[in-house]
Amino acid sequence: MRSSLTSANREGWAFALPGIVLIFAFIITPFILAFGFSLTNQRLISPNPTRYVGLENYQQMLGLAFVTLDAKQDPNGKVATDPSGHPEFPPLRTITRNADTPQYRGMQEWFRWETGTQAHLVIARDVVFWKALVNTCLFVLIVAPVQAGLALGLALLINQKLRGITLFRTIYFMPVVVSIVVVSLLWRFIYDGHDGLLNNMLAGLSFGHFHPVDWLGNPHTALGSIMVMSIWQAVGFHMVIWLSGLQTISPTLYEAAAIEGSSSWQTFRYVTWPGLRHTAVLVLIVITMQSFALFSQIDVMTKGGPLDSTQTLVFQAVQRGYGLQDIAGGSTISVILFVIVLSISLLQRWLTRER
Amino acid sequence: MSMLLAICNLGRILTREGREMAEIKLRGLRKSYGGHEVIRGVDIDIADGEFCVFVGPSGCGKSTLLRMVAGLEDITDGTLEIGGQRVNEAQPRDRGVAMVFQNYAIFPHMSVRENMAFGLTIAHASKAEKAAKVQRAAEILQMEHLLDRRPSQLSGGQRQRVAIGRAITRNPGVFLFDEPLSNLDAALRMDMRMEIGKLHKQLGTTMIYVTHDQVEAMTLADKIIVLRDGQVMQAGAPMELYQNPVNRFVAGFLGAPSMNFLDVEIVAADNETAKVARPSMDPIVVPTRGRRFVPGARAVLGLRPQHISACAPDQGVLHGQVTLTERLGSETVVDLVMQDGKNVIAAFGEDKEFERGQRVDLIFAPEQAHLFEEES
Ligand SMILES: Nc1ncnc2c1ncn2[C@@H]1O[C@H](COP(=O)(O)OP(=O)(O)O)[C@@H](O)[C@H]1O
Ligand SMILES: [Mg+2]
């Protein structure tokens, strides 16, 4: 039995065809290829034939272990200390190059903390991947709420009936239409450590008491600087989405609330926010996806440095696939990213579902 | 019977609950949008507990005037007093008014209960107080079984009831209604109209009700204000306006089918009567009701369809041929065309059969006719 969808609707399918072809060519096929590559040792150019390796790439990427090192002791059983009185620990290679513990072979330290005479270490097979993962999650966790919140605030301001308000709409929306690469280049000048606009401004505001910071060259400020720039760049886009949501709320609801004696905050809480539910879901999902895809800013501004402090998953995927010619590694990161974004989107939809 | 008593009692309890006196005075009220004046000097007095209806054609400024009373529109000029206080600049919440809108304006994401309690929630009332007041309002509106529904699960009439319930729970000094029944179908409109009438009897609160429907105005009002182009044409009790309209506009607006207007010439006039004629009508003497006419001038004769009756052939003052008959059972409305092409509508208070093209001769009691100056 042929369903009416396939038989009676030939023109419909004809119209959908170009879209379907494009989606298959650039989204579905590459994804299936990536999934396939991630199970092999495929390289960009290699004399050796490609071999199926199962989940080895994933084990390599995700391998993580927790070890404890005891402080070095002198022959009398006394804890050895460095000149500042700090206990001295044996180097990690006593474990990773030890024939007794082959499971730790090739792993590197990610981070450690010490309690008394013990040091606790988290070691990973692929430390850069883990740093990229943490940076990406941090970026999403900070950028998503801040950007969504700021955009909502701007939308609320812009939604008023004031003379010349469209000028502000245009201004806030402008960074969105400029290419992110151009924006990143501009902000590199703003963040410049010697003569950047930001340093000059801060110095001016503090009457010269502010010491210039190399915003993108300092591991403590680099990721934060990129976050600030990213929030600024896309806030106008989300403002427009919020604005469209705001304008679907009936003005008489506001009038009813005003007559009932509602304060501005109460009006927001009981009228505006409930009316923005669907918009909120959309904005959050879009921001989350965009944030996970963080790449251009990194590529233009820091290339993952300094000291891997701005490594991100997509940047790593690209760098491995094309920089290091490790197509299998890049594909593996892509698949992991896909699983993370999919789970988070499903979770968000579930949390914000109609009850 | 006992339920009816209980409801009346509830009404009395509600009214006693410290509501403030709320007589309303509008003095020289004006409103302009840009340079365009839409309310052009309005004076109205509404007594405490009065049911006042603003009526007029679409676009005459009824809603604007009501919204100025509510505080939703700024007042360009003039004074507005509620309960003896000048409130021109007061916020809506400080005016002690509750408003019911044409499109209901109930909050879609809240249950009926939460909607009705909204004003109390805003005022941080206790749970017990909210529950009690919502319960009472629901009893008055007979909608206790709907309290836990969402607005999307209600019919239009039920939604409007929720909006009225929200107004009741706040126990306001003044109820404002802006065409509350316009979105309802005809049958429901009549039911709700009666309920609003009953509600006013129960609560005894001052109410201002805006409508373009003269039936609502006639049936509900203690006082009708007829508006046209932002000005008051006439104010008074419904029957007063019906029987003594001050001008052709008011006369034509109240009553259905609306009054017939015939251009006539004044043949003779004295202080109290005038003799008028037109080619298709025999001369007749009608009262002038204090208006002055000079012989030879043109004037407009107003005849309510209900005041016209059929008479024996070749008698009467108006003669026409039937073009259309509407038989309503208790009433028959006939559209007649006279020899000079002018149409006249007659309404007979019984069921009658007419044939299209049939000649009908009509009379009317001259003392029930109205004579108006010709409008410029
Ligand atoms: N916000 C506004 N700006 C400009 N003109 C308005 C506005 N609101 C109403 N008007 C005008 O005022 C007049 C009266 O409107 P309104 O009070 O809504 O009429 P009604 O309720 O009697 O149908 C109309 O001519 C309308 O076009
Ligand atoms: Mg209106």
- Domain containing residue B35: 17-253
Q: Please determine, for residue A253, whether its predicted confidence score (pLDDT) is greater than 90.
A: yes
Q: Does B7 reside within a domain? A: no
Q: Does A58 reside within a domain? A: no
Q: Does A53 reside within a domain? A: no
Token pair for A230: 């990213």
Q: Tell me the CA–centroid distance for residue B179 and ligand 2, in Å.
A: 7
Cβ A256–B105 below 8 Å, yes or no?
yes
- Residues A218, A219, A221, CA angle at the centre, nearest 5°? 65
Q: What is the length of chain A?
A: 355
User: Pick from B201, B235, B253: which residue ends a domain?
Assistant: B253
User: Among B38, B67, B76, B233, which residue has the most ligand 1 atoms within 8 Å of its CB, making it the best to mutate?
Assistant: B38
Residue matched to tokens 């709420």: A145
What residue ranges of chain B have pLDDT lower than 70?
A: 1-20, 376
Task: Tell me the C-alpha distance between B254 and B257, whole Å.
Answer: 9
Task: Give me the percent of chain A exceeding a pLDDT of 90.
Answer: 28
Q: Which residues of A touch B123 (CB under 8 A)?
A: 261
Please enumerate in sequence order all residues whose Cβ is within 8 A of that of A170, keeping only pairs 6 or more positions apart, or say none.
none
Asked if omega into A91 is within 30° of 0 (cis), the reply is no
CB-CB neighbours of A299 under 10 Å:
18
Cβ of B57 less than 6 Å from ligand 1: no
Output A323 or B193, whichever has higher pLDDT. Answer: B193
- Domain containing residue A322: 128-351
CB-CB neighbours of A223 under 10 Å:
20
**Residues A274 and A261 placed together within one structural domain of the fold:** yes
Please enumerate in sequence order all residues whose Cβ is within 8 A of that of A27, keeping only pairs 6 or more positions apart, or say none.
none
Cβ of B107 less than 6 Å from ligand 1: no
Cβ of B34 less than 6 Å from ligand 1: no
Q: Tell me the CA–centroid distance for residue B246 and ligand 2, in Å.
A: 24
pLDDT of residue A116: 77
Q: Please determine, for residue A292, whether its predicted confidence score (pLDDT) is greater than 60.
A: yes
**Residues A154 and A118 placed together within one structural domain of the fold:** no
Domain count, chain A: 3
Q: Is B69 left (phi over 0), alpha (psi -120 to 50) or beta?
A: alpha
Q: Does B51 reside within a domain? A: yes
Cβ A274–B109 below 8 Å, yes or no?
yes
Instruction: Indicate the average pLDDT of chain A.
Output: 85
pTM for the model stands at 0.81
Nearest to A127 by CA among A331, A308, A350, A300: A308
Cβ of B33 less than 6 Å from ligand 1: yes
**Residues A185 and A315 placed together within one structural domain of the fold:** yes
Tell me the CATH number at B216.
3.40.50.300
Q: Which residues of A touch B117 (CB under 8 A)?
A: none
User: Chain B interface residues facing chain A, Cβ-Cβ under 8 Å?
Assistant: 70-72, 91-93, 97-99, 101, 103, 105-110, 118-119, 121-123, 163, 166, 170
Nearest to B237 by CA among B371, B52, B370: B52
**Contact present, A180 and A296 (Cβ < 8 Å):** yes
Q: Tell me the CA–centroid distance for residue B244 and ligand 1, in Å.
A: 29
**Residues B223 and B302 placed together within one structural domain of the fold:** no
Task: Tell me the C-alpha distance between B247 and B375, whole Å.
Answer: 9
pLDDT of residue A216: 82
Nearest to A311 by CA among A300, A303, A322: A303
pLDDT of residue A218: 84
- For B201-221, write each residue's pLDDT tens digit: 988 999 999 999 999 999 999
Number of the ligand closest to the Cα of B61: 1
Q: Does A57 reside within a domain? A: no
Q: Please determine, for residue A208, whether its predicted confidence score (pLDDT) is greater than 50.
A: yes
Cβ B119–A253 below 8 Å, yes or no?
no
- For A163-185, write each residue's pLDDT tens digit: 888 888 888 888 888 888 888 88
**Residues A97 and A188 placed together within one structural domain of the fold:** no
Extract the runs of DSSP E, i.e. beta strands, from B148-229.
174-178, 206-211, 223-228
- Strands lying side by side in the sheet with A118-124: A64-70, A118-124, A108-115
Number of the ligand closest to the Cα of B64: 1
Number of the ligand closest to the Cα of B101: 2
